[in-house]
Amino acid sequence: MGNDGYKPWWAIDKEAWREKFAVFYKLTSITEGHDQPLPPWSEKDIEEFQNSDPVYGTQLKLVLCLLTDMHIFSCIATLFSCM
């Protein structure tokens, strides 16, 4: 395997790798400059989201109920009473 021109699959030149992974390079450029984390949600923000989103709002209610009560049957009953 001397100088017969053979290159293994991983020895592609850098430009070819950039073309194959262009999506990740673009994603990096989108996320640059976002050093500050998002502010935490308040209780009012959470309630507003639960009431405004018909799909994920009810799921969030169930998750929060499970995290606080840890009793699945009361949480499901609470969820169905909200519908």
pLDDT of residue 73: 67
Res 83 pLDDT > 80? no
b/e for 48-67, b at 16 or more Cβ within 10 A? eebeeeeeebeeebbeebee
pLDDT tens for 16-73 read 777 888 887 777 767 677 677 778 989 899 889 988 998 888 888 878 877 776 666 6
Q: Domain boundaries in the chain?
A: 43-82
**Tell me, what's the pLDDT at 21?**
82
Helices 72-82 and 56-69 pack at an angle, to 10 degrees, of 150
Alpha-carbon span 67 to 83, nearest angstrom: 20
pTM of full prediction above 0.85: no
pLDDT of residue 79: 64
User: CB-side exposure of 20: number of CA atoms within 13 Å?
Assistant: 8
Write down the pLDDT at residue 4.
65
